[in-house]
């Protein structure tokens, strides 16, 4: 065919480009994402960044206020606590614990949740019923209360706190995965794959799983922020990380008695928790909008 | 004469209603359907929504198991074969869905989607598979470099071409197409229709073409099966159905389509409300409540199938001029 | 005088790439009691045009027009409130999916009475009487029992009839039917079109029939307006278009549908346009049909104007098709 090509085909952006284009336009989500990246970098490189060792006590500088106070000194930018430890270093090292533990919790909860959800979604009948009712029982108890009960049974300490929060988070994953599988199963392309002769496992890994990723990613971010808050809460109650571990919740609980004398010792770790959770939620919100398949504006 | 590529004998499918009150009630979605389809020919199934035409498609390609009846593919009885043999037979009968976008995995490049049936069902090497994929893509009017794209990068018409390519890739004898045009824009429908006909001429594949558009049906069919509430009202060659329809329902369908309004005569009388009420509880002809020619006998007895030179009409009073 | 008069109506929607024109300088006139067909595929802007006339566009849409009048009243000169009540009194619209337009929580009677109340029928007795009248007007048998039923208990065709009954409750001068039969079965389709045409002749009500199906219009309309990508491509007497379309797009629409008695023979193909409808934010330069048109030439990169063609109507093409010779019967 020797036609003169008067008109070019218009390129259509790829999936990632489309996603990033949409995500980038959401300013809140973008700033949340940037802040989170900053926090993660801080957690990874904390020994290099932190000016002092988190356990090092400067006995002549007990309860020094932050640098911007009248009697603060530039040496300790965020001030020191009642034992003379540098608050900045503690918060930086704490980020490693707080973010790392939350990530562990989410990984445990997500893998168990996806497994149970996939079983419930793919194999119907009694097994599905048992899994779902068990999840309903977990959901019926307020999450933090359940975590406290579990820690109370297993004894306080970091590993137990991680298991407790993970168990509390599992039902959400199960429900989301099961609902998404149910929805995908009735779609034409899954039927078409079945007609191609695909086995149930191949059907799940090749056809269904990639398509339930968007709701799953959103649930992951939500679970991450919940895990962060719950672990801090357990630490605050003395059931999670034990002092002198610089976990944010633990720092808070230790400084609670000096809230009048040294308010910064409470405010600064509190702010760290608040900002991190907020940035995760903002990012989750942006992800939800950007991954929503119903929205076809590029 | 060849042996039929697809033969269906007295096929029935019942669905049982859910809920404790209706547990014992069953609905016959397909009730005693028989037809045969020869290689290189097209059988169209027409009817209104709820006539069971999509349900028929689902039985044919194996999405659902029929309640009773036999399906023969190349004269082999599907239900008598072993599971393994069945899987091989089902390669001979493939499906094209109504909505092309939802029938393609949105997260899979189309090269992979097209390779999938070959990967599962054959022992070809990766190179051989890729060759077949490229060749099939060209057959449906797409280019080999399209394999790296995702479904959403194609227009509706191109997506339907891909869906057709997937149906073709195992070199089937029969393709079941469930309303393959109705999700497409008018100016694109003709492209797909032309493609389907070209493929039939080149490859000798047979179609079971499910459609509500009688113009399209007349254009491409060799035989037509008119369904109403799961039953075959009329079944015959294209000339018989369109030139001399003998069932009142076929006439009603034809006369409702703007282009055919002047070609068929059908009485505009509708049964009285009282008659309709009686027809609901009666056990006779399913079309009685809407039939302009219905009489008492239609309520009392199921009509038998009359045969006029191969044209089968299920009516007590077939319309013969 | 014209019932509906539109001059250079343009509708734009904001996107992150700036404003996108979904309807581009459309001009239309309808006489009272006329039946006008608007044909187009998805994205042609035909539904947007209907919504614009009804004042139902989304608030972020930007509408500009040189002139827009309904029933001799210049709509652009009215305030928002005045416009809304004026349109409500003079025009009604029905949509493709009646089940989406009816509220599932209220009975048919409740919804009919409500629309009668808005039209000034206050007393319950009168409303009930009127509602029964309206239902029998649209051909629903046993209207008394239907009034107490809910939309999900009725069939799609029945629901569409109820939508029509609600639409004509205000005795509008103009009824816009946006794909009124697309979701219905063929046998019901014919009945609904018949009903609309009957209402048109009985009440001298203008009818704008929007559809993608040329066959539907063949017998029912006096004039047909063919739209593509937001522009009017051809606007002419319907018999003229059906016999001899002058725009390649109209011809493609007509010929891509098989006709009666046209049975397929070996090697025969239907006439079809290549390619697909352009995305509204990626329109080609010049003639919007250009990339798909079998007759496209160099000149087609310049935008053609809608020009009068002798003995026919308006056509937007640099090279209008010649008048078809009468086919031998």
* A106 pLDDT above the threshold of 90: yes
- Report the residue of chain C nearest B185, measured CA to CA: C41
Which chains have 3 or more CB–CB distances shorter than 8 Å to chain C?
A: A, B
**Cβ(C33)–Cβ(C81) under 8 Å?**
no
* Cβ–Cβ below 8 Å for C187 and B252: yes
pLDDT value of position A2: 37
CA of C136 to nearest chain B CA: how many angstroms apart?
15
Q: Is residue A297 part of a domain?
A: no
Mean pLDDT of B288-310: 82
Cβ distance of A198 and B116 shorter than 8 Å: yes
Predicted confidence band of residue A275 (pLDDT cuts 50, 70, 90): very high
pLDDT above 50: residue A210: yes
| Residue B226: band (very low, low, confident or very high) from pLDDT cuts 50, 70, 90 | very high
Mean pLDDT on B150-157: 82
Closest approach of chain B CAs to the CA of A119, in angstroms? 22
Whether B290 and B145 share a structural domain? no
B180 and B63 co-located in one domain = yes
Interface test with B, best of A124, A180, A196 (most B CBs within 10 A): A196
Q: Tens digits of per-residue pLDDT, B90-125?
A: 888 889 988 888 888 888 888 888 888 888 888 888
Q: What is the pLDDT of residue A104?
A: 93
User: How far, CA to CA in Å, does C317 sit from each of B96, B153, B235, C133, C299?
Assistant: 37, 30, 46, 49, 10
The closest CB to that of A188, out of B90, B102, B107, belongs to B102
Pair (B220, B296) in one structural domain: no
Is residue B226 within 8 angstroms of chain C, CB to CB?
no
CA distance C256 to C248: 12
Instruction: State whether A10 and C282 contact (CB < 8 Å).
Output: yes
Range of the domain at B280: 246-314
CATH number of the domain to which B88 belongs: 3.40.50.300
User: Residue A243's domain is classified under what CATH number?
Assistant: 1.10.3720.10
Contact B151, B105 (CB under 8 A): yes
φ, ψ at A34 (rounded to 5°): -65, -45
- Percentage, residues of chain B above pLDDT 70: 93
Residue B217 and residue B257 in one domain: no
Residues B213 and B264 reside in one and the same domain: no
Domain end (from B202, B228, B254) = B228
Asked if B263 reaches chain C (Cβ–Cβ under 8 Å), the answer is yes
How many beta carbons lie within 10 A of that of residue B155, not counting itself? Answer: 18
| Residue of chain C minimizing CA distance to A5 | C291
The three state secondary structure string of B65-116 is CCCEEEEEECCEEHHHCCHHHHHHHHCCEEEECCCCCCCCCCCCCHHHHHHH
> Average per-residue pLDDT in chain B?
84
Q: For residue A212, what is the nearest residue in chain B, using CA coordinates? A: B107
Domain-located, residue A280: yes
Asked whether residue A45 is domain-assigned, the answer is: yes
Predicted confidence (pLDDT) at residue C276 exceeds the cutoff of 80: no
Is A113 part of a structural domain of the chain? yes
Cα–Cα distance measured from residue B17 to residue C63, given in angstroms and rounded to the nearest whole number: 51
A6 with C291: Cβ contact below 8 A: yes
Identify the contact set of chain C against chain A, taking CB-CB distances under 8 A.
15-16, 278-279, 282, 284-285, 290-291, 296, 298, 300-301
For A57-87, what is each residue's pLDDT tens digit? Answer: 887 877 778 878 777 777 788 888 778 888 8
What residue of C is the nearest CA neighbor of B238? Answer: C263
Residue B283 exposed, middle or buried by CB count within 10 Å (0-12, 13-18, 19+): exposed
Restricting to A residues 191-250, those with a Cβ less than 8 Å away from any Cβ of B are: 191-198, 202, 206-207, 210-211, 213
Q: How far is C297 from chain A (nearest CA, A)?
A: 9
Give yes or no: residues B179 and B62 share one domain. Answer: yes
Distance between CA atoms of C224 and C39, rounded to whole angstroms? 7
Residue B87 burial by Cβ neighbours in a 10 Å radius (0-12, 13-18, 19+): middle
Torsion over CA of B203, B207, B213 and B216, rounded to 10 degrees?
A: 30
Nearest to B218 by CA among B269, B260, B187, B271: B260
Quickly state the pLDDT bin for A4 (edges 50, 70, 90): very low
Same-domain pairing of B69 and B127:
yes
Whether residues B66 and B166 share a domain: the answer is: yes
Give the closest-approach CA distance of A186 to chain B in angstroms: 10
Q: List residues of chain B with CB under 8 Å from any CB of chain A.
A: 61-63, 87, 90-91, 94-95, 97-99, 102-108, 116-117, 120-121, 150, 152-153, 163, 166
With a cut of 60, say whether residue C191 has pLDDT above it.
yes
Q: What are phi and psi of B211, to 5 degrees?
A: -155, 160
Query: Does B169 lie in the same domain as B127?
Result: yes
Closest CA to B293 of B270, B312, B273: B270
Q: Give how far the C-alpha of residue B58 lies from the chain's centroid of Cα atoms, to the nearest Å.
A: 9
Task: Among A184, A188, A202, A296, pick the best mutation site for testing chain B contact (most B Cβ within 10 A).
Answer: A188
Q: Choose the mutation target among B95, B107, B150 for the interface with A, i.e. most A CBs under 10 Å.
A: B107
Q: Assess contact for C161 and C138: CB atoms under 8 A.
A: yes
**Does one domain contain both B47 and B112?**
yes
* Closest chain C residue to the Cα of A21, Cα to Cα: C16
| CB neighbour list of residue B129: distance below 8 Å, 6 or more residues apart | B115, B118, B119, B122
Average pLDDT over residues A122-145: 88
Q: Give the closest-approach CA distance of B266 to chain C in angstroms.
A: 13
Rounded to the nearest angstrom, the minimum Cα separation between C283 and chain B is: 15
Q: Does C14 touch chain B (CB under 8 A)?
A: no
Q: How far apart (Å, rounded) are the C-alpha atoms in residues A126 and A129? A: 5
Query: Is residue A79 domain-resident?
Result: yes
Closest chain C residue to B255, measured at CA: C187
Interface size between B and C, measured as CB pairs under 8 A: 109
- Most confident of the ranges C176-180, C268-272, C303-307: C176-180
Nearest CB among B188, B215, B242 relative to C259 is that of B215
* A208: closest chain B residue by CA: B105
Alpha-carbon distance of C246 to C320, in angstroms, equals 5
pLDDT value, residue B208: 92
3-state helix, strand, coil in chain C (%, to 5): 35, 25, 40
Residue C46 has which token pair? Answer: 């035909």
As a whole number, the mean pLDDT across chain C is 83
Full residue range of the structural domain in which residue A186 is found:
26-49+59-290
**pLDDT confidence tier of residue A113, bands split at 50, 70 and 90:** very high
SS3 B228: strand
Inter-chain CB proximity A195 and B62 less than 8 Å: yes
pLDDT, tens only, B12-58 = 888 877 666 656 677 788 888 899 899 888 999 998 887 888 889 88
pLDDT of residue A13: 63
Q: What is the pLDDT of residue B20?
A: 62
pLDDT, residue A280, reads 92
Using the 3D structure, point to which of B175, B196, B228 is the last residue of a domain.
B228
The residue of chain B with its CA nearest to that of A15 is B150
Interchain CB contacts (distance < 8 Å): A and C = 16
For residue C265, pLDDT beyond 70: no
pLDDT at B187: 79
Question: Could A6 and C16 be called an inter-chain contact, meaning their C-beta atoms sit closer than 8 Å?
Answer: no
Q: How many structural domains is chain A composed of?
A: 1
Q: Is the CB of A10 less than 8 angstroms away from the CB of C278?
A: yes
- Residue B2 contacts by C-beta under 8 Å, 6 or more apart in sequence? B38, B39
How confident is residue A47, by pLDDT bands cut at 50, 70 and 90? Answer: confident
Domain count, chain B: 2
How would residue A224 be classed by pLDDT, with cut points 50, 70 and 90? very high
Q: Say how far apart CA C285 and CA A7 lie, in whole Å.
A: 8
**Per-residue pLDDT for A18 more than 80?**
no
pLDDT tens column, C30-79: 888 888 889 888 878 888 888 888 888 888 888 888 888 888 888 888 88
Query: Which pLDDT value is given to residue B19?
Result: 61
Structure ipTM:
0.80
A1 band by pLDDT with thresholds 50, 70 and 90: very low
Segment B253-277 mean pLDDT: 73
Of residues C101 and C281, the one with the higher pLDDT is C101
Q: Where are the beta strands (DSSP E) in A47-114?
A: none
* Residue A116: predicted pLDDT: 92
Q: C223 near C238, Cβ under 8 Å?
A: yes
Backbone angles phi, psi at B114, to 5 degrees: -75, -30
pLDDT number for residue C264: 65
| Residues C65/C8, Cβ–Cβ less than 8 Å | yes
**Do residue B220 and residue B92 come from a single domain?**
yes
The answer as to whether A147 is a domain residue is yes
State whether B257 and B135 are in the same domain: no
In chain C, residues with a C-beta closer than 8 Å to the C-beta of A297 are: 15-16
């Amino acid at each position: 065919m020797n036609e003169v090509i008067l008109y070019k085909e218009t390129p259509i952006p790829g999936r990632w480009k489309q996603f990033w284009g949409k995500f980038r336009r959401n300013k809140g989500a973008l700033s949340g994402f940037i802040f989170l990246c900053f926090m993660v970098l801080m957690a990874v490189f904390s020994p290099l960044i932190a000016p002092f060792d988190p356990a090092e006590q400067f006995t002549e500088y007990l309860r020094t206020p932050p640098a911007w106070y009248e009697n603060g000194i530039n040496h300790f930018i965020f001030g020191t606590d009642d034992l003379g430890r540098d608050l900045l270093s503690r918060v930086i090292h704490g980020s490693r614990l707080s973010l790392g533990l939350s990530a562990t919790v989410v990984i445990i909860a997500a893998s168990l949740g996806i497994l149970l959800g996939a079983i419930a979604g793919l194999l119907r009948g009694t097994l599905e019923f048992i899994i779902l009712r068990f999840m309903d029982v977990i959901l019926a108890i307020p999450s933090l209360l359940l975590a406290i009960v579990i820690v109370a049974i297993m004894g306080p300490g970091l590993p137990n706190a991680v298991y407790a929060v993970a168990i509390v988070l599992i039902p959400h994953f199960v429900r989301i995965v099961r609902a998404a599988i149910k929805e995908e199963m009735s779609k034409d392309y899954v039927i078409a794959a079945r007609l191609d002769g695909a086995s149930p496992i191949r059907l799940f890994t090749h056809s269904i799983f990639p398509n339930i990723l968007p709701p799953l990613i959103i649930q992951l971010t939500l679970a991450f922020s919940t895990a962060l808050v719950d672990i801090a809460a357990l630490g605050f109650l003395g059931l999670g990380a034990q002092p002198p571990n610089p976990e944010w919740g633990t720092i808070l609980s230790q400084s609670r008695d000096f809230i009048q004398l040294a308010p910064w010792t409470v405010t600064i770790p509190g702010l760290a928790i608040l900002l991190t959770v907020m940035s995760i939620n903002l990012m989750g919100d942006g992800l939800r909008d950007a991954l929503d398949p119903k929205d076809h504006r590029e | 004469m060849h042996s039929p590529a697809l033969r269906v004998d007295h096929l029935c499918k019942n669905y049982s209603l859910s809920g404790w009150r209706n547990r014992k009630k069953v609905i016959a979605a397909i009730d005693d359907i028989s037809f045969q389809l020869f290689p290189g020919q097209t059988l169209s199934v027409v009817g209104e929504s709820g006539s069971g035409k999509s349900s028929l498609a689902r039985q044919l390609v194996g999405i659902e198991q029929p309640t009773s009846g036999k399906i023969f593919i190349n004269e082999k009885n599907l239900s008598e074969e072993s599971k393994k043999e069945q899987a091989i037979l089902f390669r001979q009968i493939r499906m094209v869905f109504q909505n092309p976008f939802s029938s393609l995995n949105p997260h899979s490049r189309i090269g992979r989607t097209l390779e999938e049936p070959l990967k599962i069902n054959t022992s070809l090497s990766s190179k051989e598979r890729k060759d077949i994929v490229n060749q099939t893509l060209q057959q449906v009017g797409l280019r080999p470099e399209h394999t790296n794209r995702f479904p959403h990068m194609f227009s509706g018409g191109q997506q339907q071409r891909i869906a057709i390519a997937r149906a073709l890739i195992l070199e089937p004898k029969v393709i079941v197409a469930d309303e393959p045009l109705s999700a497409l824009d008018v100016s694109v429908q003709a492209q797909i229709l032309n493609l389907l006909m070209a493929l039939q001429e080149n490859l000798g594949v047979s179609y079971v073409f499910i459609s509500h558009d009688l113009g399209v049906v007349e254009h491409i069919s060799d035989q037509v099966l008119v369904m109403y509430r799961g039953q075959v009202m009329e079944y015959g060659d294209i000339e018989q159905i369109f030139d001399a329809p003998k069932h009142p329902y076929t006439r009603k369908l034809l006369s409702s389509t703007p282009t055919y309004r002047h070609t068929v005569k059908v009485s505009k009388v509708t049964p009285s409300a009282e008659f309709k009420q009686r027809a609901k509880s009666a056990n006779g002809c399913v079309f009685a409540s809407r039939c302009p020619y219905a009489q008492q006998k239609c309520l009392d007895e199921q009509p038998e199938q009359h045969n006029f030179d191969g044209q089968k009409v299920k009516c007590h009073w077939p319309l013969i001029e | 005088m014209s019932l509906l008069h539109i001059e250079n109506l343009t509708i734009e929607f904001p996107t992150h790439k700036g404003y996108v024109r979904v309807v581009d300088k459309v001009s239309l006139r309808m006489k009272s009691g006329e039946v006008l067909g608007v044909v187009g595929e998805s994205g042609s802007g035909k539904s947007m045009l209907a919504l614009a006339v009804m004042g139902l566009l989304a608030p972020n849409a930007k509408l500009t027009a040189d002139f827009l009048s309904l029933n001799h009243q210049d709509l652009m000169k009215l305030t928002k409130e005045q416009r809304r009540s004026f349109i409500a009194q003079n025009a009604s619209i029905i949509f493709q999916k009646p089940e989406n337009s009816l509220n599932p929580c209220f009975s048919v009677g409740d919804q009919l009475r409500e629309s009668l109340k808005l039209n000034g029928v206050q007393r319950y007795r009168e409303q009930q009487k009127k509602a029964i009248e309206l239902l029998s007007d649209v051909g629903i048998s046993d209207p008394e029992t239907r009034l107490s039923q809910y939309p999900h208990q009725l069939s799609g065709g029945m629901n569409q009839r109820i939508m029509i009954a609600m639409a004509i409750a205000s005795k509008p001068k103009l009824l816009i039917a946006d794909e009124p039969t697309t979701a219905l079965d063929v046998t019901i389709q014919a009945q609904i079109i018949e009903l609309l045409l009957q209402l048109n002749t009985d009440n001298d009500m203008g009818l704008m029939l929007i559809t993608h199906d040329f066959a539907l219009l063949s017998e029912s309309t006096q004039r047909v307006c063919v739209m593509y990508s937001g522009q009017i491509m051809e606007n002419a007497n319907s018999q003229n278009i059906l016999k001899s379309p002058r725009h390649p797009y109209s011809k493609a629409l007509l010929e891509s549908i098989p006709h009666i008695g046209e049975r397929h023979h070996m090697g025969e193909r239907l006439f079809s346009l290549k390619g697909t409808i352009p995305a509204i934010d990626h329109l080609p330069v010049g003639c919007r049909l250009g990339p798909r048109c079998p007759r496209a030439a160099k000149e087609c990169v310049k935008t053609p104007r809608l020009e009068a063609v002798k003995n026919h109507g308006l056509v937007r093409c640099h090279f209008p098709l010649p008048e078809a010779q009468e086919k031998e019967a």
